[in-house]
């Protein structure tokens, strides 16, 4: 779970005569993450696409263009699968393309014409308001006419102030026409200072209103024709959508196979292909290729990216029976050297004859293609899988580092459930998660649904322990006889629980961060035990030392008294006050760690702090002194947000229920009046409650308002539970926990091949 699935680098070497069968077999296995040849071996060239690749790629582009034109989606796939033959790809595809393109061209022409008509309509409307025939606004030899929107008085004033002697101004409904015995430039200059925005006189003749009516009628005709073409295209989508999806899948697979040699190293007669495969599936690859081409290929397991008993990369694990292009398995973390200790990675024998060519090893160190870092398959059990999506929000884990997903799975739902802690909300979150899983196909979205299921489950569990359902304590009466095992601490009588949860948050923070540092310790073991101790062990010692001291009986004056009581047992003495302890949240008998003296005034707690601090400063320099305060203390205190959100959400639910049902405060506890079996004195009532009104009208209005507030209020708490508890829990994971050890940047495992959905091959 904490390590990715074990991967092996494999090599397939053989004659080009069997390359097609090898590609076909490997593609059908959908197992090998192919490594691209970097063209750095002497005597080898990247392979050429197999004949037909360009034609298949062009057809694939055509199919996808047709799908885009028709708006084909996965829902257009017909029942079952179908076989798409080469003849269908040639003949039927040409037929579909001709039909679709003809209608798409008609649609484009109609849209262009419709756009032009709409522009004419927009341009004609001012001239309809002006009410002058279009013929009278153009075509003069010695008179210039300009039309625009503006203030006719301002236009006349501007013309009076100009050198133009003869002019006439016509205006109606804000549209102005000016006719002047002058040239266009002079008239434009004269109108510069007037409130006037010129409008170009459109094409057409006669009455503008008649012309506008004609254009509107033309628009209706074009829209009808366009609807007809759209309907025809919709019919084509229904007729050919299934075929196009199957054709795309067929061509996509075909292109993958025909272009596969581009990733191979080749000579005139031989090829070498490399890739990564799950180690436990190597036998499947070997068996499939042997069945397909017999001994015409050599299959080798070059190296295994594994881990030793200490959990770090085993760099020189021998592969039983394995052979590399130059010798035995190499270092998984070592960059490839194309000619390390040899003249080349391989040589081709028998070039120029018709026999099956083989690749012979020259001896030396392994020479491999591309990066030495294997792709990552996160090896988590089914229940943990949904949380991989949350981990990958940061980045996919590298092969050489621990995968934090399992810890994420253990802590995130617990944090969330503890903060909300309500059976009703928990069931709703689970319902939302189930609906997401059942109704969305996206793997990421389904993962979020799975996370919601787990978070809702923990919310429901904690809700039962708190004895709450939608903020009501009646669940505690039913399940626990009025005495649930734990309380949220919101009510005055149980305030000591709030103190306890504050301390629990801190303790959880210490454990969470120490686990993060432990992960970092394991990751740093690749660089040696000493570096792991200094880089990671120092922080573990410092963090534990600081909080061992905080929870000890040293310097008790500044420390709050509840630290020594909420985890004690009733009747024990509080060491800070000397008084008997009355209220205990969790009876663990804890009243503080004793100060363990070592030498003189030096205690074990102080020694841990000094040792950890010294190691941190030694490893990180002066900045480590500052970080020691922010990380060893401040980052732990950050976890108190868990208790804060717990009380905030409980308070919101309490307010909603108090407004609706009314409540009285008695003996430090809130009792909802609607569910009460006796009357409370007036001075004890906090709020009478909307549903407890007197009189028919007041009662009816109270119930209407009460139901509205109850539903909307609890919906608000439900949503804020996600935005507050959810985001705060995620923040603790990403910022506090991941920040201690996680880098990410692993390569996704993308095996060569494609699962068929629409075709049967």
Whether residue 731 lies inside any domain: the answer is yes
- Residue 634, pLDDT score: 93
d(CA 136, CA 57): 60
For 653-675, what is the mean pLDDT?
A: 91
Q: What is the pLDDT of residue 354?
A: 39
Do 281 and 139 fall within a single domain? no
Q: Kindly state whether residues 331 and 288 are assigned to the same domain.
A: yes
The two tokens of residue 689 are 């409650």
All residues at 6 or more sequence positions from 138 whose CB lies less than 8 Å from its CB, including other chains:
145, 201
Q: What residues have CB less than 8 Å from 353, skipping those under 6 apart?
A: none
Matching residue, tokens 């190691």: 615
Identify the domain containing residue 96 by its residue range: 59-114+227-251
Residues 140, 101 share a domain: no
| Three-state secondary-structure class, residue 525 | helix
Q: Which of 360, 383, 416 is the last residue of a domain?
A: 360
- Give the pLDDT score at 134: 86
| pLDDT tens, residue by residue, 599-630 | 878 899 999 999 999 999 988 888 888 888 88
In the predicted structure, residue 164 carries a pLDDT above the cut 90: no
Q: What is the DSSP letter of 353?
A: S
Establish if 655 belongs to a structural domain: yes
Last residue of a domain, one of 341, 360, 379: 360
pLDDT at 284 over 60: yes
Distances (CA, A) of 407 to 384, 387, 482, 539, 737: 9, 10, 35, 19, 10
Residue 187 lies in a domain: yes
Q: Which runs of consecutive H residues, i.e. helices, occur in 131-207?
A: 152-160, 184-190
Report the number of distinct structural domains present in the chain: 4
CA angle, 35 then 40 then 41, to 5°: 95
Residue 340 maps to a domain: yes
Arithmetic mean of pLDDT, 268-297: 94
Q: What is the pLDDT of residue 599?
A: 84
Q: Is the pLDDT of residue 327 over 50?
A: no
Whether the CB-CB separation of 726 and 416 falls below 8 Å is answered with yes
Predicted local confidence at residue 353, as pLDDT: 39
Predicted structure pTM score: 0.76
What span, in angstroms and rounded, lies between the C-alpha atoms of 346 and 325?
6
The answer to whether 358 and 349 are in contact (CB under 8 A) is yes
User: Per-residue pLDDT tens for 343-401?
Assistant: 334 443 333 333 333 333 333 345 677 666 899 999 899 999 999 999 998 889 998 88
Tell whether 549 is covered by a domain.
no
Rounded Cα distance, 397 and 5, in Å: 12
Q: Is there a single domain that holds both residue 26 and residue 74?
A: no
- Residue 608 contacts by C-beta under 8 Å, 6 or more apart in sequence? 541, 542, 544, 545, 548, 549
Q: At residue 215, does pLDDT exceed 60?
A: yes
Among residues 186, 213, 240, the one where a domain terminates is 213
Q: Provide the pLDDT for residue 371.
A: 66
Residues 127, 202 contacting (CB under 8 angstroms): yes
Nearest Cα residue to 248 out of 102, 73, 104, 26: 73
List all residues 6 or more positions away from 289 whose beta carbon is below 8 Å from its beta carbon.
12, 22, 25, 26, 297, 299
Average pLDDT of every residue of the chain = 88
Residues 6+ apart with CB under 8 A from 362: 326, 342, 343, 344, 346, 347
Give the separation between CA 638 and CA 732, rounded to whole angstroms.
Answer: 8
39 and 89 both lie in a single domain: no
pLDDT band at 573 (very low <50, low <70, confident <90, very high): very high
Q: What is the pLDDT of residues 679-699, one digit of tens each?
A: 888 888 999 989 988 888 888
Q: Give a yes or no: residue 453 inside a domain.
A: no
pLDDT of residue 707: 95
Mean local confidence (pLDDT), 524-537: 90
Q: Mean pLDDT lowest for which of 146-160, 335-349, 357-371?
A: 335-349
**Residues 652 and 732 placed together within one structural domain of the fold:** yes
Query: Considering the domain boundaries, does residue 635 fall inside one?
Result: no
Q: Kindly tell me if the per-residue pLDDT of 192 is higher than 90.
A: no
The DSSP secondary structure of 696-735, one letter per residue, reads HHHHHHHHHHHHHHHHHHHHHHHHHIIIIIIHHHHHIIII
The two structure tokens encoding residue 374: 């294997």
Same domain, residue pair 74 and 22:
no
Question: What is the pLDDT at residue 331?
Answer: 35
**Which pLDDT score, from 0 to 100, does residue 572 have?**
95
Question: In the structure encoding, which two tokens stand for residue 605, read together?
Answer: 């707690």
β-strand partners of 178: 146, 169
Task: Give the DSSP letter string of 442-508.
Answer: -HHHHHHHHHHHHHHHHHHHHHHHHT-BTTBTHHHHHHHTT--S---S-SGGGHHHHHHHHHHHHHH
Assess whether 103 and 146 both reside in one domain: no
> 86 and 232 share a domain?
yes
What is the tens place of the pLDDT at every residue in 98-110?
A: 999 999 999 999 9
pLDDT score at 560: 93
Rounded distance between C-alpha atoms, residue 107 and residue 222, angstroms = 10
pLDDT at 358: 36
- If one compares 79 and 63, the residue with the highest pLDDT of the two is 63
Q: What CATH number does residue 299 fall under?
A: 3.30.70.2170
pLDDT, tens digit, 9 for 90 and up, residues 702-746: 999 999 999 999 999 999 999 899 999 999 999 999 999 998 889
Q: What is the C-alpha separation between 407 and 510, in angstroms, rounded? A: 15
C-alpha angle 29-31-37 in degrees, rounded to nearest 5: 115
Same domain, 235 and 317: no
Separation of alpha carbons 274 and 264, rounded Å: 8
CA distance 275 to 518: 33
Q: Are residues 95 and 241 in the same domain?
A: yes
% of the chain with per-residue pLDDT over 90: 62
Q: Which two tokens stand for residue 214?
A: 């004609």
Spatial separation of the C-alpha atoms in residues 679 and 501, rounded to whole Å: 34
Residue pLDDT, tens place only, 638-653: 999 999 999 999 999 9
Q: What is the mean pLDDT of residues 321-338?
A: 39
Alpha-carbon span 277 to 126, nearest angstrom: 73
DSSP characters over 671-697: EEGGG-SS---GGGEEE--GGG-SSHH
Which pLDDT does position 383 carry in this prediction? 93
Does the residue 686 lie in any domain? yes
Same domain, 319 and 273: yes
């Amino acid at each position: 779970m904490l390590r990715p699935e074990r991967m092996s680098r494999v090599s397939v070497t053989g004659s080009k005569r069997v390359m097609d069968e090898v590609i076909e077999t490997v593609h059908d296995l959908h197992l090998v993450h192919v490594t691209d040849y970097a063209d750095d071996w002497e005597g080898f060239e990247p392979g050429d696409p197999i004949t037909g690749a360009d034609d298949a790629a062009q057809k694939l582009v055509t199919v996808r263009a047709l799908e885009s034109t028709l708006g084909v989606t996965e829902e257009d796939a017909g029942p079952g699968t179908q076989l798409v033959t080469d003849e269908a790809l040639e003949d039927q595809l040409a037929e579909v393309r001709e039909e679709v393109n003809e209608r798409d061209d008609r649609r484009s022409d109609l849209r262009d014409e419709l756009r032009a008509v709409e522009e004419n309509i927009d341009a004609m409307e001012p001239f309809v308001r002006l009410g002058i025939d279009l013929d009278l606004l153009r075509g003069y030899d010695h008179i210039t006419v300009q039309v625009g929107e503006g203030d006719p008085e301002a236009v006349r004033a501007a013309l009076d102030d100009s050198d133009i002697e003869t002019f006439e101004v016509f205006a109606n409904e804000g549209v102005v026409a000016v006719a002047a015995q002058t040239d266009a430039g002079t008239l434009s200059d004269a109108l510069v200072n007037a409130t006037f925005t010129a409008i170009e006189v459109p094409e057409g003749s006669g009455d503008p209103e008649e012309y506008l009516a004609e254009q509107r009628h033309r628009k209706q005709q074009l829209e009808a024709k366009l609807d007809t073409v759209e309907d025809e295209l919709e019919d084509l989508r229904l007729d050919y959508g299934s075929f196009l999806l199957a054709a795309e899948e067929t061509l996509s697979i075909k292109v993958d196979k025909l272009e596969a040699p581009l990733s191979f190293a080749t000579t005139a007669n031989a090829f070498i292909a490399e890739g990564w495969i799950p180690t436990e599936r190597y036998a499947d690859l070997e068996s499939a290729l042997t069945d397909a081409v017999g001994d015409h290929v050599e299959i080798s397991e070059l190296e295994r990216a594994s881990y030793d008993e200490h959990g770090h990369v085993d760099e020189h694990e021998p592969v039983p029976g394995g052979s590399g292009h130059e010798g035995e398995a190499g270092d998984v973390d070592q960059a490839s050297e194309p000619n390390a200790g040899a003249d080349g990675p391989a040589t081709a024998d028998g070039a120029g004859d018709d026999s099956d060519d083989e690749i012979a090893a020259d001896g030396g160190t392994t020479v491999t293609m591309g990066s030495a870092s294997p792709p990552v398959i996160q090896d988590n059990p089914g229940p943990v899988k949904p949380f991989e999506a949350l981990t990958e929000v940061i980045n996919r884990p590298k092969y050489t580092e621990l995968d934090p997903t399992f810890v994420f799975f253990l802590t995130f739902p617990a944090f969330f459930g503890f903060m909300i802690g309500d059976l009703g909300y928990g069931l709703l979150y689970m319902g939302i998660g189930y609906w997401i899983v059942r109704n969305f196909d996206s793997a990421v979205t389904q993962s979020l649904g799975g996370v919601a299921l787990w978070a809702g489950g923990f919310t429901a569990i904690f809700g039962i322990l708190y004895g709450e359902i939608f903020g009501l304590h009646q669940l505690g009466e039913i399940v626990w006889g009025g005495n649930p095992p734990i309380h949220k601490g919101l009510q005055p009588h149980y305030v000591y629980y709030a103190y306890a949860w504050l301390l629990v948050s801190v303790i959880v923070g210490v454990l969470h961060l120490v686990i993060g540092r432990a992960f970092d310790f394991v990751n740093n073991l690749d660089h040696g035990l000493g570096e792991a101790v200094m880089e990671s062990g120092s922080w573990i010692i410092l963090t534990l030392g600081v909080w061992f001291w905080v929870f000890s009986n040293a310097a008790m004056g500044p420390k709050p008294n509840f630290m020594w009581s909420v985890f004690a047992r009733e009747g024990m003495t509080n060491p800070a006050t000397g008084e008997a302890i009355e209220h205990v949240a969790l009876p663990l008998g804890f009243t503080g760690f004793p100060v363990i003296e070592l030498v003189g005034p030096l205690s074990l707690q102080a020694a841990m702090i000094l040792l950890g601090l010294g190691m941190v400063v030694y490893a990180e320099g002066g900045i480590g002194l500052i970080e020691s305060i922010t990380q060893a203390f401040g980052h732990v205190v950050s976890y108190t947000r868990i208790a804060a959100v717990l009380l905030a959400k409980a308070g919101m639910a309490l307010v909603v229920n108090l407004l609706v049902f009314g409540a009285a405060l008695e003996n430090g506890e809130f009792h909802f009046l609607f569910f009460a079996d006796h009357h409370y004195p007036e001075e004890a009532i906090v709020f009478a409650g909307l549903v407890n009104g007197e009189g028919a009208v007041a009662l009816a209005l109270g119930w209407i308002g009460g139901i509205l507030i109850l539903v909307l209020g609890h919906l608000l708490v439900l949503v804020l539970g996600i935005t507050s508890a959810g985001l705060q829990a995620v923040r603790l994971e990403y910022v506090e926990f991941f920040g201690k050890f996680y880098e990410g940047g692993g390569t996704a495992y993308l095996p060569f091949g494609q699962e068929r959905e629409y075709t049967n091959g």
